[in-house]
Structure 1
């Protein structure tokens, strides 16, 4: 999903982060009450009658977050070598026949699902996600949390649903063979009892260890008007999270689990999704004058009859399926192929009003295929479908599914404009989810940093390699002589909330201090990984992430697995552990500063001196005459010398101070004669003094002179001069003025 405040494009996100971030931090998230206790045992227990009953397998805890312990080597079937029959260890399969009622924006569906019990014990009931029920009324967990956010700040989607605009999934029948099954709604995270986004289905016959369950489900999915992520507007239907989807049964050694557990969280306002890998075989019937795009490959030619057309899509080794059906849409086709990847058929689906950005989005997608396959690993699928929502359905944009994503549309995209940067960034970001959310398939409920955060970091690396900054130049600014541009990582730093981080990056998606704190999952993770890259080196970091992708593709890694891989490849456990302990698992802040520069000329002193066995005593007048004589003699020889030198050395003391976590620092000291000296400050002292005795005095000192430490909360106090210099303040004033001017120009154009 795109970052929370990208609604008006990336420029607005930058401006808002600088101008209103302190006020946004007051938006409080509702904290769900503790979940009802669930039996911890999953073994059979005898009853008084002597018959055996199956105790519940517990839920993952309601406050689950990034685990500390790495997953077992054989987690999720072990590392994929590429020699297996399938890319993933397929756990589930779905065969769905669905028909869209375009007038009612409703989908009738029949689903045949098979699911393999990977555990060592029988399972007597299973849990399914019914995500669309998050939009059925204001009593859902999603709306309950949204109310608090919109009352105290802003959120991504703020549209109010009216009568006839709500969305839901109704289970009409669930069968196991010939047996009709019963179901009930549960709230694994202790949310309101009115939430119906998770359903428990009681089986007629338990599924034995290693056996496969088959269920037939008839359902009706009513799409909501687009409020966030999915839904309809006019003749546009984005059909996401639309079918009953089984939860994940995690085993011991997988993402911190110590015994089998159901990972099946409610649909929270800030959370996204998590599911098993499997295969999808889906028939979609829609009105014949609608354009259709979906996850996976189209099988054969669409079949038309009686004003309706049926499309057949299949895709293996993915963990979700979404599609779009829209009237009046256009199609732009392309293709791509890279080393180790199959030939990829690309398709951009767009409304006529956004024809101006279709080609730009196709190019950004092919460029992304190039970069991600080169730096992480081969793209394994044969299709990629990009959907541009129509005007007024913007909240359906910036959403990702395997081989399928939505982006943002623009009527005009000119090179070097904020529109181009926003269009490119959102497209690259949603493509990047295909790796971090799609192929690696981390748990977005519990560890959003592994998807949103790492993806944001890799997106900015790609833009950096392209040499693409946020160019805020407008015709008016050009006439005034301003051409402001901000590198992407600098913007991420400004949006990171570094002065007072409220939550660890490894916290789950919903249990956050504020909407702002969740938003920093994107920017603060990207900034932390940027700084870690500076410590490990660009090439080492890239090798480590390539290894992370190789080890954990199709296997649902955790933050602990990422940390272990970074250490293994880099060999620098100290740097990796510091970043993870301070930021992923903690809320450290950095603010190192140059506190003072004190200089004193080392002059001859009054008093008694023993030299060559003879003691000589000098009084102040004699010393003054000696000093004057040496100055005169020196000035005659050094008539063009810069101020700050002389016949006597200078003793300069630079004091640095630390207000926050330790980070390796470089101190660069410059002297009056133009020379400089670098000193490392790499210890746990809260302050340190560095003394320099040189022919010239110190005139300035700067920590992090090469600007590698973006996590420092206040970069303005990193340097100090002995003489006032207004250059920095004038530059910052000009940059801020330019930024605001560009922002107002953009808002005025909306």
Structure 2
């Protein structure tokens, strides 16, 4: 491993508090200088380099307060983008002219703004993205691992930036203390400050060179997924918003595992492409495309979103559908797909419309008029499984057989990427600092939908199905297998980049889904659903934090103890659960031998006579109970069951089974590290089991939850669900290869 992170971690906090305009590299620009500094002026700081999930809820009026539906626009629009773009298909390059209009929500003037230049993550191995990739994937696999060669790198060049005709300077800065060679964030110094409450308009000319498909954007052959492609302004957060205590710029570098965070606004985008290319994009088409001189111009507009992406591909087909639900407009649903994956088009369309119904019913109505799904071509799988507002990419299969892994994979990925339209899109959480609020909560809600459908993971292929081999496992069971429950390295609420490895980052999906599954079991399904619906009502078209989700769960459930326990242990901590049945001990309660005190005198019993009496009682009882099970008899039994807690506290139920087939259930819900339960009755204890209804999925080792006085198949049967999930994972790997 190369020593490319020298001083990065230790210096990050210093970088965050330093003057935010600190320059590592400066682009060429006209010599116009920003306005002269005032002695009273204080630069606006960055959000901390290691910011993660806040623990204090946002202020009630954060981001303008909850949207009631009576406002003139769905969101409190902060930014407006007008972009004219032209695709050079041969070079996979996009030239663009962007007019950026931004509103200063703060109470102070702004003299510099910051823009994301995401494509610069792919211009060389010196970017924050590539330097982190080397470290985080050293011991675990990940997406975004493609090796770029000559002619395959990507970047974005600012060619000119002006404010009211005055050319501006810009410089690359490093809000997180990343390598000096990273150019994913630029500071633009303004010719005239933007006053408090004022509006800024910039005219920007840029050139975006797409990389070969890597990390969900780029080209392959005649396929171009144009994402993360334009200069995009950072977010100016105010006190009381997502843990901010002062006005600050939230504009992190493009980290390897991180995604995006932006203000809501309006996009008006014109796209010029070769006429034999099919186009799909965020938003609503404005009239029919216009064709001239071998090129076609498309016009898309969408308000109340925070990003824009599009696809241009030769030879693509189109499948159209529609959907409408209560409270939603009629939605035009479109699937764009290559001919080799024609079998995937209809399943993607159906999964999309089914997801529209489920998410609208359980969270809130879908507010947009379009939804576009793109199936990437063969050899461009890195472009699959990515989300943007009203637009996402799915996966493609040459054959989709109902009841097989291919059908499940199509449905799961489609539902997952659509679901991001709510947790990433409408709720607009900060994916840099709180990936659990998007990836994790979305994974949980997707699995709820699949559970409602009765759709388990069917770990079989078409060939295996013909042989009658079709093992299946519930989705939440599979999630707990990938959740690294034994040794979690990072809190779920940690940011995207301060992670032990990409594998640890990956548990954001599965461990969050598992934690929310267990919270739902404790609060109740109906209560949990009402709480998430309230969370959506309060925070859609705003930017909630983990603390805001926690507060909604507490307010609706009224159970602060349970909600805080789960959040403290897993969102803000790295607790693990491992409760086990340690031992079962039983003995008959026989008449006692020895000396007894009678009338003040010791009388020693006849041990031999006692033994004979006990034997006669056994014989007599056996004659009258010819079908009695071992462990029963004329004498009572005293049994002791010991349980041990090797991790965090969680409410448990202990089911004890007796020799006569009867059961007894007890609650273990305290902070003891071990407990001992005693039973006296006509039968001895033959087995004990924690969590008999299998509600505690966070328990790292379910095999030790049960114990039998004599070996039987109960534990093996309990393990079978996990084994089936392993089979599923193996078959998924084969399919991906």
Same fold (TM over 0.5): yes
Matched, 1:601 2:588: yes
Q: Secondary structure of the residue that 2:516 maps to in structure 1?
A: helix
Work out the CA distance in 2 between the residues paired with 1:720 and 1:422. Answer: 36
Match of 1:663 among 631, 650, 672: 650
Q: Gapped runs of 5+ residues in structure 1?
A: 1-27, 43-48
- Aligned mates of 1:465, 1:179 — CA distance in 2: 58
Aligned length: 717
2:694 alignment partner, SS class: coil
Deviations 1:40-94 (A, max 9, x none): 899xxxxxx9954632100001000001100000000001111111111100000
Task: Indicate the RMSD between aligned Cα atoms, in angstroms.
Answer: 2.3
Task: Tell me the distance in 2 between the aligned counterparts of 1:336 and 1:428.
Answer: 15
- 1:672-687 maps to which residues of 2 (within 5 A)? 672-687=659-674
The question of whether the paired residues in 2 share the 8 Å contact of 1:171 and 1:218 is answered with yes
Distance 1:152 1:673, change over 3 A: closer
Tell me whether 586-595 or 156-165 shows the greater mean CA deviation: 156-165
Match of 1:242 among 222, 229, 254: 229
1:553 maps to which of 532, 535, 540: 540
Give the deviation of 1:630 after TM superposition.
Answer: 1.6
Structure 1 position 483 matched with structure 2 position 470: yes
After superposition, residues 53-452 of structure 1 pair within 5 angstroms as 54-452=41-439
Distance 1:270 1:264 in 2: 15
Distance in 2, Cα, partners of 1:549 & 1:749: 35
Q: Give TM-score, length-normalised by structure 1.
A: 0.92
Of residues 7, 17, 34 in structure 1, which corresponds to 2:11? 34
- TM-fit CA distance, 1:150: 3.9
CA offset at residue 618 of structure 1? 1.9
After superposition, what is the alpha-carbon deviation per residue over 1:280-302, rounded to whole angstroms, capped at 9, x for unaligned? 00000111111000000000111
C-alpha distance in structure 1 between counterparts of 2:37 and 2:726, whole Å: 75
Contact 2:404–2:462 (8 Å) recurs in 1: no
Query: Deviations 1:162-217 (Å, cap 9, x if unpaired)?
Result: 12111111111101102110000001000001000000000001100000011110
Quote the offset at 1:744 in angstroms: 6.0
Deviations 1:693-742 (A, max 9, x none): 01000000000011100000000000000111246447857984895599
In 2: Cα distance, 1:231 partner to 1:749 partner: 20
Match in the other structure for 1:702: 689
Unaligned runs of 5+ residues in structure 2 are 21-35
Q: Residue 492 of structure 2: which of 490, 505, 508 is its match?
A: 505
- Structure 2 residue matching 1:435: 3-state secondary structure: helix
Task: Determine the structure 1 residue equivalent to 2:29.
Answer: none
Residue 635 of structure 2 aligns to a residue whose secondary structure is coil
Distance 2:48 2:728 in 1: 48
Q: Distance in 2 between the 1:226 and 1:536 partners?
A: 43
Comparing 604-613 with 491-500, greater Cα deviation is found at: 604-613
Write the distance in 2 (CA, Å) between the matches of 1:476 and 1:85: 56
1:590-629 Cα deviation digits (max 9, x unpaired): 0000000000100000134578999865231122122112
Aligned 8 A contact 1:62 1:189 in 2: yes
Deviation at 1:361, TM superposition (A): 0.4
Instruction: Please tell me whether residue 573 in structure 1 is matched to residue 550 in structure 2.
Output: no
Q: Take 1:745 and 1:437, find their aligned partners in 2: how far apart are those partners?
A: 26
Per the alignment, residue 584 of structure 1 pairs with 571
TM-score normalized by structure 2?
A: 0.94
Equivalent in 611, 616, 621 of residue 634 of structure 1: 621
What do residues 519-568 of structure 1 show as CA deviations (whole Å, max 9, x unaligned)? 00000000000000000000000000000000000110000000000000
Quote the Cα distance in structure 1 between the aligned partners of 2:462 and 2:222: 37
Distance 2:254 2:328 in 1: 35
Cα deviation, 1:235-255, whole Å, max 9, x if unaligned, reads 100000100000000000000
What's the CA shift string for 1:76-122, capped at 9, x where partnerless?
A: 00011111111111000001111101111111111111111000000
Equivalent position SS for 1:646: strand
Q: Does 1:515 pair with 2:498? A: no
The 1:153–1:734 alpha-carbon spacing in structure 2 relative to 1, beyond 3 Å, is: closer
The answer to whether the 8 Å contact 2:8/2:177 transfers is no
Comparing 152-161 and 262-271, the one that deviates more: 152-161
2:398 aligned counterpart, secondary structure: coil
Change (3 A) 1:265 1:478: closer
Indicate the residue corresponding to 1:10 in structure 2: none
Contact 1:477 1:738 in 2 (8 A): no
Deviation at 1:748, TM superposition (A): 7.7
In 2, Cα distance between equivalents of 1:62 and 1:738: 38
